[in-house]
Amino acid sequence: MPTKVIEASKAAAIAAKLCRPEIMAVYPITPQTHIPESVADFVYDGEMNCEMIDVESEHSALSACIGAQAAGSRTFTATASQGLALMHEVLFAASGMRLPIVMAIANRALSAPINIWNDHQDSVSARDSGWMQFYVESAQEALDTIIMAYKIAENKNILTPAMVCLDGFTLTHVFEPCQIPDQKEVDSFLPKYRPLHRLDPKKPVSMGPIGYPNSYMDFKKQQQNSMQEALKEIKKVQTQFKKKFKRTYGNGLIEEYKIKGADYAIVAMGTVCSTTKDIVDELREKGKKVGAIKIKTFRPFPEKDILDATKNLKAVAVLDRNISLGQEGALYSEMKAAMKNCKTKIHSFIIGLGGRDVTPDMIKKIFSKISRIKNPVKEWVLK
């Protein structure tokens, strides 16, 4: 398994190549463009048997994937920010039709004002669309998670599309060492796509028909059941991946970092987790009882795993790179709901919107604050 120093965007593209999608529909938008550009290179160099569909918008890109996936093809696409917002209508169509599309999201702030830098507002705004959402913090994790996402999404008990979210620029354009799995190894881990149902004139089926009031809710309940089933499947696939490729990311739902013996912890998603881990190491050397919890899977939300990880803590700080304007950060809302009967204090910090730097000093100040105060706080960290 060779190790190469590559851009995280190329790692995502290599993962797509290894998963053998037959169709990739794409529309360019910063900062995800390097992903389809790399896939296009693979296709036109003869390294990848995949048809690239150039479309007129992101709405069309996902619509083309829906059609191809419904016809029985494995598909891949990528987008960011306003592109994901333009897809919003068809996100629900893909999940409601139970099509296991995998899509890479290069997380970027939403306008206005115009901003091309990183936060999580785009994907978090799509949290209720019926897609699984995985957040990664390294090029290696991006590559590995895309492979696992296909295996999870295509499981006959799941059949749910998945977003693999990479922080825009902060990760997508960063070069890191990355182990590249062998194609035969990936083929043995991820079998050929065999859809349970597909569009076939010899065996006609209806996909996405009208749902009357006496049936629509039943379809949504089925989707909810599949999301709950995915909590177990994600753990199972992570265990299988670890056995085969010798790499793991917590249990696939969350990753605990030096939580044993900790009194205080930071909970976050994405690349800020790397900065937090460094500060945890530094503070641990000084005798501070601190740790970190990375939320890798945001949908389905791993409530039980979070409760198990936080039950012995005095307080946690939830770092949100998004804001539900008029209320609070989405991750904080989810954590607060999950921990409503827990004695652990939970604090909210809005950070890093629009690509604003999240510095080591910020993380230190947050740890210092939650170790000193008794009542929960909600703060915007501006400097």
Domain edges within the chain? 3-245, 254-380
Strand ranges (E), 80-188:
102-107, 132-135, 162-167, 175-179
pLDDT tens for each residue of 134-171: 999 999 999 999 999 999 999 999 999 999 999 999 99
Q: What is the DSSP string of 202-264?
A: TS----S----TTTHHHHHHHHHHHHHHHHHHHHHHHHHHHHHHS---TTSSEEEES-TT-SE
Q: What is the DSSP string of 2-22?
A: -EEEEEHHHHHHHHHHHT--S
- Give domain 3-245's CATH number out of 3.40.50.2030, 3.30.70.660, 3.40.50.970, 3.20.20.10: 3.40.50.970
Work out the number of other CB atoms within 10 angstroms of the CB of residue 330.
21
Q: So what's the pLDDT on residue 306?
A: 98
Q: So what's the pLDDT on residue 267?
A: 98
Q: So what's the pLDDT on residue 220?
A: 97
Residue 160: both structure tokens together: 């749910």
Q: So what's the pLDDT on residue 342?
A: 94
Closest Cα partner for 18 from 179, 180, 160, 237? 180
Neighbour order of strands in the sheet with 290-295: 254-257, 290-295, 264-268, 315-320, 345-350, 378-380
Closest Cα partner for 13 from 167, 134, 173, 146? 146
Work out the number of other CB atoms within 10 angstroms of the CB of residue 320.
28
- The pTM (predicted TM-score) of the whole model is 0.97
Weakly modelled stretches of the chain, pLDDT under 50: none
pLDDT tens for each residue of 229-258: 999 999 999 999 999 999 999 999 999 999
3-245 and 254-380: identical CATH topology: yes
The single-letter code of the amino acid at 362 is M
Q: So what's the pLDDT on residue 1?
A: 76
Q: Helix crossing, 88-96 with 58-70: angle to 10°?
A: 10
C-beta of residue 316 within 8 angstroms of C-beta of residue 264: yes
Tell me, which fold does domain 254-380 have in CATH? Rossmann fold (3.40.50)
Residue 197: both structure tokens together: 């149902």
How many helices (DSSP H) and strands (DSSP E) are in the chain? 13, 15
Give residues with Cβ within 8 angstroms of 211, minimum separation 6.
219
Query: What is the rounded distance in angstroms from the CA atom of residue 125 to the CA atom of residue 57?
Result: 19
Question: Residue 10 CA to chain centroid, in angstroms?
Answer: 17
User: What Å distances lie between residue 141 and 97, 147, 153, 221, CA to CA?
Assistant: 28, 10, 17, 31
